[in-house]
Structure 1
Amino acid sequence: MARIGSKPITFGDDVSVSVSDTNVVTVKGPKGELTQQIDPEMSIAIEDDNIVVNRPTDQKRHRSMHGMSRSLIENMVTGVTQGYKKELTIKGVGYRASLSGDTLELALGFSHPIFFLPPEEVDLEVESGRGKDDTITIEGIDKQLVGQVAAKIRDLRPPEPYKGKGVRYTDEHVPLKAGKTAAR
């Protein structure tokens, strides 16, 4: 039996969950509302304050979809109650970030500034390091969207392995390489 898929998802009184005939799951909570299409072969049952996902057979495809479907629904419940947050740090001399309106303006060592317009469902916040590293905080209720926005910003200037300059996740460790040494 699946370990992840067989666990029930518990939600509180402030969350309402509805499942349509075509397995479209809608979760409403204090932070917002999320909708997700789940594989139609999975059966989703709401019992009291629990959501239970069951699979029809033990085929490999059904086993994999079972755990993934349960994880998607659990991420939706967590998103509408607590939300998700990712933090990026910008390291490098002259590298900085600022927020003007909804647009994120980045100076990342190129000859031009980079302007990044995030989706409406995501909130950005920039904390200036005042001589140190700037921090960008990405918050939202959709885990996939928050991670995707963070990855897109990081891909604008990934950390390089010699001095560590670039955009990185706050908890990311970048192993530094030794530079070339002159032959004598």
Structure 2
Amino acid sequence: MSRIGKKPVPLPSGVTATVKGQSIEVKGPKGTRTFNATDDVTITVGDGEVKVEPRGMSKRARQQWGMTRSMIENLVIGVSTGFKRELEINGVGFRAAMAGNILKLNLGYSHDVDFAPPPGVTVTVPKQTEIVVEGIDEQQVGQVAANIRAWRAPEPYKGKGIKYKEEFIFRKEGKKK
């Protein structure tokens, strides 16, 4: 039995869910998201919550049960509060700035790095050394943050580069004489 799949997904106030066949559409204050489930599960909406049940007890049906419930929960969180990833820039002369909708990164290269976020994701720079990526799609927000981090991943000797705010960088000791 799936411990995750057994729990119903509560719908906060202002969020509505509608099911059409194997597709669920969730509407909230931040937008609308849809998810198409496999034929191995049944989705029902009622009493301010969404329930997911497996069709049979095959291994695939039990796998899809918990995964579908997690995906629906991410839809609900996304349209109600949204997702957010924070990045920090460490290094002398490394900085970020917004120029319109383009993120300009100065990362020690001979040129500035220009990054245009995809639609549905907003990037803000509260300080020169902080970048905040927000949106309603968890996967897209994480991918945009990973793409920004990939321009200069943190190195282990001085910790220079772009890292997630909650990330810990294992430091190495330098060469000794």
TM class by shorter chain equals over 0.9
Question: Matches of 1:13 and 1:135 in 2, distance apart?
Answer: 32
Distance (Å, rounded) in 2 between the aligned partners of 1:158 and 1:62:
39
The TM-score, its normalising length taken from structure 2, stands at 0.96
Separation in 2, partners of 1:38, 1:144: 17
Long gaps (5+) in structure 1: none
1:12 and 1:110 map into 2 onto residues whose CA distance is: 46
Q: TM-score normalized by structure 1? A: 0.93
Name the counterpart of 1:98: 97
Amino acid at match of 2:135: G
Cα offset for 1:19? 1.2
The structure 1 segments of at least 4 consecutive aligned residues displaced by more than 3 Å after TM superposition are none
The answer to whether 1:137 aligns with 2:132 is yes
Answering whether residue 19 of structure 2 is matched by residue 19 of structure 1, we say yes
Counterpart residue type for residue 104 of structure 1? L
Gaps of 5+ in 2: none
Distance 1:173 1:36 in 2: 34
Shift of residue 120, structure 1, vs aligned partner? 1.4
Paired residues for 1:29-178 under 5 Å: 29-129=28-128, 134-178=129-173
Among the aligned pairs, what percent are the same residue?
A: 46
Kept after mapping to 1: 8 A contact 2:40/2:60? no
CA distance in 1, matches of 2:136, 2:14: 15
Partner amino acid, structure 2, of 1:96: R
Q: How many residues align?
A: 177
Q: Please tell me the root mean square deviation across aligned C-alpha atoms, in Å.
A: 1.0
Residues 124-183 of structure 1 deviation map (CA, whole Å, 9 limit, x = unaligned) = 110225xxxx1000111111111111111111111000000000001111011001112x
2:3 corresponding residue in structure 1: 3
